[in-house]
């Protein structure tokens, strides 16, 4: 910040200039204050600040989705948020994580290459303890996972990868798959040690246990879409609303959603006396309903299809004949056509 002179100092400076004690050329002469930045050719920066910012925004969505899904699955208070997004060499990442730990190797289809999701041992054992009926306590000592514990963590990681796919949907239709779980960082060499990676550090809290989750994505893996990791592209994708990729993801999820379907066979009127006299085992015959009479198939509380009841084997069944919307449309067209003729 430039120094501010007081009024006395300004008067003394003007007096010195008038007396010739200070050369005015020295005052106006620009000072050479070039800012020199040290550049390390062994670890060159391959991600711009704009790209780092976009990656951070994308994984804030991932953190919110993971918070919701883990809270529901563990039935405990879970908090996940992005602590930092940095670029470093893969060797520096491997040296910064404990041994043993939980390392999930992720296939980033359709991108070539893999990524790594590292979960702190304290968080890992807190999740396992919670799923096994405990209070969610962390590990009291460092050890490797048993086969049963590893199988449990595979289910957790698969659910987390679903959140990763959704958070990347505005950039690419990512289909991450769990390739395997390692406990020794030295056995998870997915890229050369000197290769640059982007490291997303997520602060995670499960109950009272705090730890870190690290998502390591090599530059070679996301190089084909590096141009899309810009704020302008990301915001334009969000502004476009529902893209084709989002519709496909939504359609896949809706296909497995259960819907209540009701079939109204017939109706009749009863007096209050008859209703009060009904007992378990009584049979009510609908005399005005035959097997071939049309009936209405309802989805929720909405009448949707016109059907005919029948029997297949020894079970009742219905055959969908037509949509009620089509019947209403045909009646409307017939009515309007008749009006025009008149």
Q: Which residue from 188, 196, 176, 210 is spatially nearest to 83, judged by alpha carbons?
A: 210
- Mean pLDDT confidence for 108-126: 91
Within its chain, how far is the Cα of 64 from the centroid?
7
- Mean pLDDT confidence for 289-299: 63
Confidence of residue 15 (pLDDT cuts 50, 70, 90): confident
Can you list the domains of the chain with their CATH numbers? 49-243 (3.40.1550.10), 257-270+289-337 (2.30.330)
Q: In whole angstroms, what is the distance from residue 106 CA to residue 177 CA?
A: 6
Range with lowest mean pLDDT among 107-111, 175-179, 184-188: 184-188
263, HSE (Cβ side, Cα atoms, 13 Å): 14
Residues 154, 155, 160, 162, CA torsion sign = positive
CB of 16 within 8 A of CB of 23?
Answer: no
Residues 244, 228, 198, 68, CA torsion sign = negative
Round to the nearest angstrom and report the end-to-end CA distance of the chain: 87
Name every residue whose Cβ is closer than 8 Å to that of residue 175 and which is 6 or more positions away in sequence: 109, 110, 165
pLDDT of residue 112: 87
Q: Which residue from 223, 230, 220 is spatially nearest to 48, judged by alpha carbons?
A: 230
Residues 215, 217, 178, 144, CA torsion sign = negative
Residues facing residue 62 across a β-bridge:
none
Above 60 in pLDDT, residue 16?
A: yes
Q: Which residue from 227, 62, 77, 91 is spatially nearest to 160, judged by alpha carbons?
A: 62
Residues 159, 163, 166, 172, CA torsion sign = negative
**What is the per-residue pLDDT across 123-158, written as a single tens digit (0 to 9) for each?**
999 999 888 888 877 767 778 888 999 999 999 999
**What is the per-residue pLDDT across 247-260, written as a single tens digit (0 to 9) for each?**
677 777 777 777 77
**What is the per-residue pLDDT across 46-59, written as a single tens digit (0 to 9) for each?**
788 888 888 898 89
Q: In whole angstroms, what is the distance from residue 119 CA to residue 124 CA?
A: 6
How big is the chain by its Cα radius of gyration, in Å?
34
- Mean pLDDT confidence for 157-175: 89
Most confident of 5-9, 169-173, 209-213: 209-213
Q: What angle do CA 328, 330, 335 make, to 5 degrees?
A: 95
Confidence of residue 242 (pLDDT cuts 50, 70, 90): very low
Using left for φ > 0, alpha for ψ between -120 and 50, and beta otherwise, residue 264 falls in: beta
């Amino acid at each position: 910040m430039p120094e501010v002179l007081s009024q006395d100092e300004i008067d003394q400076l003007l007096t010195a200039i008038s007396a010739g004690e200070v050369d005015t050329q020295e005052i106006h002469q620009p000072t050479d204050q070039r800012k020199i930045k040290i550049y390390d050719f062994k670890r060159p920066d391959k991600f711009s600040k704009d790209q780092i910012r976009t990656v951070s925004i994308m994984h804030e969505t991932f953190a919110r989705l993971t918070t919701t899904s883990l809270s529901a699955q563990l039935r405990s208070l879970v908090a996940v948020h992005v602590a930092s997004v940095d670029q470093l060499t893969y060797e520096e990442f491997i040296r910064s994580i404990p041994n043993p730990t939980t390392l999930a190797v992720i296939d980033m289809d359709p991108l070539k290459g893999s990524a790594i999701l590292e979960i702190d041992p304290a968080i890992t054992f807190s999740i396992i303890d919670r799923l096994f009926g405990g209070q969610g306590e962390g590990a009291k000592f460092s050890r490797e996972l048993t086969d049963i514990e590893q199988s449990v963590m595979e289910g957790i990681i698969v659910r987390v990868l679903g959140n990763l796919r959704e958070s990347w949907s505005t950039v690419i239709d990512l289909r991450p798959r769990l390739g395997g779980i390692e406990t020794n960082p030295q056995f998870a060499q997915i890229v050369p040690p000197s290769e640059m990676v982007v490291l997303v550090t997520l602060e995670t809290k499960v109950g009272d246990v705090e730890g870190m989750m690290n998502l390591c994505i090599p530059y070679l893996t996301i190089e084909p879409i590096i141009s899309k990791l810009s704020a302008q592209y990301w915001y334009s994708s969000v502004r476009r609303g529902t893209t084709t990729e989002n519709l496909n993801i939504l359609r896949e999820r809706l296909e497995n959603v259960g819907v209540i379907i009701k079939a109204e066979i017939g109706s009749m009127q009863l007096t209050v006396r008859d209703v009060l006299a009904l007992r378990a085992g009584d049979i009510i015959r609908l005399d005005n309903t035959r097997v071939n009479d049309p009936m209405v198939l309802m989805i929720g509380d909405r009448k949707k299809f016109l059907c005919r009841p029948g029997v297949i084997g020894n079970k009742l069944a219905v055959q969908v004949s037509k949509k009620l919307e089509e019947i209403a449309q045909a009646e409307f067209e017939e009515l309007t056509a008749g009006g025009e003729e008149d």
